Amino acid sequence: MKILAIETSCDETSAAVLEVKRGGVKLLSNVVLSQIDIHRQYGGVVPEVAARHHVKNIIPVINQSLVQAKTALNSVDLLAVTKGPGLITSLVVGVETAKAISYALNKPLLPVNHMYAHMAGNFLGSIKFPAVCLIVSGGHTELIYLKDYHQYKKIGQTVDDAVGEAFDKVAKLLGLGYPGGPIVSAEAEKFQILNFKSQNIIKLPRPMLNSRDFDFSFSGLKTAVLYIVKKMKPSEVKKRIPEICHEFQEAAVEVLVSKALKAANQYKVKTIMLAGGVAANKRLRGELEKQANENKFEFFVPDFNLCTDNAGMVALAAYYLSQKQRSKLDQVPKFKADPGWEII
Ligand code: KG4
Ligand code: ZN
């Protein structure tokens, strides 16, 4: 069986082909066309601009994914597409394109939740259940408890900003550009490498570290950075950027890792998974893996190319979802893009 998956939830146009054989699954292609260079000049994603580029690029990207996978479109058995959550103007391009292919070729089409797809980036490994998954992206920060591939529930989430959003906003207020995550983390690494020393070591809060729930808050952390920056002269800010980024990253990682471990212990799981664009953060990957191992949990995180938005994870999600839902799939799909589609 071959699955063709499409992802256009934000500013990446992506298509992937997954092959399912008796021995397991293999990604034959995972083409990602990022619009980062286009949106950088605006300091963030402009939805209407993103949509126009998706429209222009979606067919060439699908074609490239089929060519790389040496697969003809009519030999695809199942189609999958991100239905939500995401930007409605972006989602609708992928969803309507997938529906058109499904209708024209008379192939079933599976709608996939973007957050489930992020988790599924881990499903190339063999997961021991039960598990918890920490999903950290530009729009979401969620803790999910999974009984198996199909039964799961959200046990915690951010009450305000997502952690990726906080990385992006901190980068913006430090004048570092977009997207902020990779830049802030590179600056933080400089601090460690140079063992940068300054007179007053910056200390930031760890919001909700000791709250009894599994929720998060990152808006106050971002504001704390803003207050620190406002108190300094611009020349001092410039000099201390690595230190500010380091302390911000430490604060975010400490809260995320601590809550994930707490959930894993309380729910008595076997496995901790990490997923989403911020899972590309080396400090977070390293620290969560270390603490998971020390506490005898299995640990999974996707390869870097499966962390930020891509259709490969959508194809993997579709494979697991199809095992349960295939018989229920409409031959002419009627679903619509849903920007607020909750994972559960
Ligand atoms: O999952 P994703 O590609 O898109 C959404 O679904 O939102 O996540 C994008 C987010 C952005 O906020 C970006 O700054 C963040 O992931 N990100 C990182 C890193 N790479 C990407 N954050 C921290 N460290 C990174 N290395
Ligand atoms: Zn995402």
Q: From ligand 2's centre to the CA of 235, what distance in Å?
A: 35
Residues with CB under 5 Å of ion ligand 2 are 137, 309
Q: Is 307 left (phi over 0), alpha (psi -120 to 50) or beta?
A: alpha
Helix intervals (H) in the chain: 36-40, 47-68, 88-105, 114-120, 163-173, 180-194, 219-231, 234-239, 241-266, 282-294, 311-325
Q: Is 132 left (phi over 0), alpha (psi -120 to 50) or beta?
A: beta
Minimum-distance ligand 1 atom for the alpha carbon of 282: 26
| pTM score of the predicted model | 0.95
Q: Is the CB of 276 under 6 A from ligand 1?
A: yes
Residue 100: Cβ within 10 Å count: 11
Work out the average pLDDT over 225-249.
96
Residue 330's pLDDT band (cuts 50, 70, 90): low
Place of tokens 């070729």: 105
Minimum-distance ligand 1 atom for the alpha carbon of 138: 7
**The pair of three-digit structure tokens given for residue 129, joined into one six-digit string:** 């259940």
pLDDT in tens, 157-182: 999 999 999 999 999 999 999 999 99
Residue 244's pLDDT band (cuts 50, 70, 90): very high
Q: From ligand 1's centre to the CA of 35, what distance in Å?
A: 14
Query: Does the pLDDT value for residue 328 go beyond 70?
Result: no
Work out the average pLDDT over 132-158.
97
Q: Is the CB of 221 under 6 A from ligand 1?
A: no
Q: From ligand 2's centre to the CA of 307, what distance in Å?
A: 8
C-alpha distances (whole Å) from 16 to each of 117, 152, 317 are 13, 25, 12
Report yes or no: 6 and 82 within 8 Å, Cβ to Cβ: yes
Minimum-distance ligand 1 atom for the alpha carbon of 114: 6
Looking at residue 22, its pLDDT comes to 86
Q: Is the CB of 84 under 6 A from ligand 1?
A: no
pLDDT in tens, 310-322: 999 999 999 999 9
Q: Taking the chain, what is the end-to-end CA distance rounded to the nearest angstrom?
A: 28
pLDDT in tens, 250-294: 999 999 999 999 999 999 999 999 999 999 999 999 999 999 999
Report yes or no: 113 and 80 within 8 Å, Cβ to Cβ: no
Q: Is the CB of 139 under 6 A from ligand 1?
A: yes
